[in-house]
Amino acid sequence: MKTMKTMIIAPIIIIIIFLGIGWGRNLIKFVRLDFQPPYKAEVIRGIGLTSYGVIIGWIDIKDL
């Protein structure tokens, strides 16, 4: 019974940590932006401050 709980809880904890790191990476990248035209990265990272940041934090966005 104990191993079944571990098999369920361990992956959930790993996923939560992974998502938290993604959101934190997005926040750090957002703060380090220059806020000069073009604003593509700023807009995308700003949207990522909501729940989308868990995915956007892992993506490299280049302003051209």
| pLDDT given at position 1 | 61
**Cα→Cα distances 35→24, 40, 46, 49, 60, Å:** 19, 10, 11, 16, 16
User: At 40, which amino acid appears?
Assistant: K
Domain spans of the chain, in order of start: 14-64
Model pTM score: 0.82
* pLDDT tens-digit series, residues 1-57: 678 888 899 999 999 999 999 999 999 999 999 999 999 999 999 999 988 999 999
Contact 33, 60 (CB under 8 A): no
